[in-house]
Structure 1
Amino acid sequence: MKESLVHGLSGSLSAVIATLILHPLDTIRIRMQSTHSKTTLRLFLKELRTNGNLMSLYSGFISSLISTASSQGVYFLVYKAMQIILSRGKRQLTILDDLIVSLVASFVNILVNTPIWTVNTRLMKSEKEESISSCFSSIIKHEGFRGLFKGMSTSFILVLNPVIQFVTYEHMKRRFKQKKLHAGFCFLLGALTKFIATMITYPFLTLRTRVQLEDQKSLGFVEVLKDVLDHEGALALYNGLSTKVLQAVLNSAIVLASHEHLVKILCMICLTKKIRATAAK
């Protein structure tokens, strides 16, 4: 249990580091997904013309920080716990084990964090400052409790993203036999596996964003898909792709490289405390 908590805490801290660096890119991606196609450069220039700076791209920053820290913390905690359970009596986990581990971690993550993701998406879309509590209250007031869980069905489809990434990540780690995981290796491997997963699942991410941003009426996944195809065409499903690929690839690379390093540090701290406690007795 302690080992799982170490991985959960490391995941949260890694997410905080990545969010501090990459939040503006995620904000641009959401605004591009929610509107007709615009380039990343045009959105940057619009912010500079309108506000004289890029601070509005940090809309929903605190919410995003909470969202990513919670998401990565829950995911890595459950992921490690499942690895420990499945590894009992085995020398090495198989690809099927990796698949089960990633699926369970992803489903638990979605159930726990969908309300946080919905609030975060609304705040990042908005160009005006709004608190987390006021956005949360507004959703409850106008859309009911179910409004917090918009896009959850699409999120279950998006389970494919972490499954593809982490099954590939674990397989590649074993293939290269990196017993001592160097930060550079984890960074490159995290970037590569996230790129593959994002290219495959991006249209579903666009649809989830559209569903979460719909505050006037409750539209399902199929209805939103039909609306986009009828009025904007299939290419609209790829709005913001370049920005998302850049953000997701860098985010994953930073998170996984930081995570592997932080786990070592946290384990050393725990071991030091244990030794001191034993010596004190």
Structure 2
Amino acid sequence: MASGDAHVTPRTGRLKLFRHVKGEHLFAGVSGGVISTLVLHPLDLIKLRFAVSDGLASRPTYQGILDCVLAIYRARGFPGLYAGVTPNIAGAGASWGLYFLFYNATKQHWLEWQGMQPNGNLGPGKHMVAAANAGVITLAITNPIWVVKTRLCLQYENEMRNVAVSRRYRGMSDALAKIWRHEGMRGMYKGFVPGLLGVSHGALQFMSYEELKTQYNLYRGTPRDKHLNPLEYLTMAALSKLFAVSTTYPYQVVRARLQDQHNKYDGVIDVVRKTWRGEGMGGFYKGIVPNLIRVTPACCITSVVYENFINFFMKPKDSS
């Protein structure tokens, strides 16, 4: 018996780290991210166009959201509104899937460590830390995809009169190959530092989302983890996303400008200094309107799809 115990314990110890990593969270997150991106990508494209609009002659200017949509449509047709959709789908699917995967695994490890039930309440502080941990890991894996998505969304061919603008990238794989060839690992991780600052966005969003669900169930006198209906999930997701976006949006402008192939900056401080000097505080909030129009329904769609997938996959296990 002693030799058998000695044989089993190391194996159990090695697997212990991974027992809270559940594929259901990954699949549900990927599904939500892909669906919301397919529906709302054009608004993400428009947000990026406004975010990098710094007065350069080598890029078009727009009078508003409708003017931007019409300019892209006239130049490239309906497919132009979906420029960069492939890396956006890959990035959104991977990011949401990995985020939910690592976020829930971190929560379950923490609950177990504190001797609490799997459906216990960690509180807002620990929810923020779990979300930040998931955000850093996810960003480290997916940052190259976001660089490619930004570059493809900022190709302006056929949109500017009297200016020759070449199409630098033919697609996602071509962009990855050229960025690696000409800029190396540094090019793949442009915007990583402001992306780390942006981890606070996800932390605030998930903290508020979890607390809204918990407080709502407590108000109704139901268990903290009780499954809500789609309208309730939509409301919680929209409120938490609006709170996170309004608090942290400037980092998205800084990140987009660092990843933009049409301009060169020496780093985060250089972007902040030049944006402030040339555009003032308003420069850090360029694109926030199309961003809010996009991210709020995107977050709602992702959250509803995720919660319903999880309820479908996990409920039989809980019942058994």
Q: TM-score, normalised by structure 1?
A: 0.90
- Aligned partners of 2:241 and 2:23: how far apart in 1? 24
Aligned counterparts of 1:23 and 1:233: Cα–Cα separation in 2: 28
Gaps of 5+ in 1: 276-281
* Aligned mates of 2:191, 2:22 — CA distance in 1: 29
Preserved CA contact (<8 Å) 2:151 2:261 = no
Name the CA distance, whole Å, in 2 between partners of 1:61 and 1:106. Answer: 22
Map of 2:108 onto structure 1:
84
| Matching of residue 45 in structure 1 with residue 70 in structure 2 | yes
Name the CA distance, whole Å, in 1 between partners of 2:265 and 2:184: 11
Task: Give distance in 2, aligned partners of 1:48 and 1:115.
Answer: 28
Report which stretch shifted further, 94-103 or 211-220. 211-220
**Counterpart AA for 2:143:** T
The answer to whether the 8 Å contact 1:162/1:197 transfers is yes
Counterpart residue number, 2:236: 189
**Uncovered stretches (5+) of structure 2, i.e. residues with no partner:** 1-18, 55-60, 157-166, 218-223
Counterpart for residue 105 of structure 1:
134
Please provide the CA RMSD for this pair. 2.1
- Aligned runs of 1:86-235 on 2, under 5 Å? 86-88=110-112, 89-90=115-116, 91-127=120-156, 130-177=170-217, 179-214=226-261, 217=264, 219-235=266-282
Q: Distance in 1 between matches of 2:286 and 2:40?
A: 18
Output the CA distance in 1 between the equivalents of 2:21 and 2:267.
Answer: 39
In 1, Cα distance between equivalents of 2:229 and 2:199: 27
Which residue is 1:10 aligned to? Answer: 28
Question: SS at 1:144's partner residue?
Answer: helix
1:107-138 deviation digits (Å, cap 9, x = unpaired)? 11111111111111111222457211110111
User: Distance between the aligned counterparts of 1:255 and 1:246, measured in 2?
Assistant: 15
Shift of 1:3: 6.1
Q: Following superposition, which runs of at least 4 residues in structure 1 exceed 4 angstroms of deviation? A: 214-218
Q: What SS class does the counterpart of residue 22 from structure 2 fall into?
A: helix
TM-score, normalised on structure 2? 0.80
Q: CA deviation at 1:159?
A: 1.0
**How far off is 1:2 after superposition?**
6.6
By percentage of residues, which structure has more helix?
A: 1
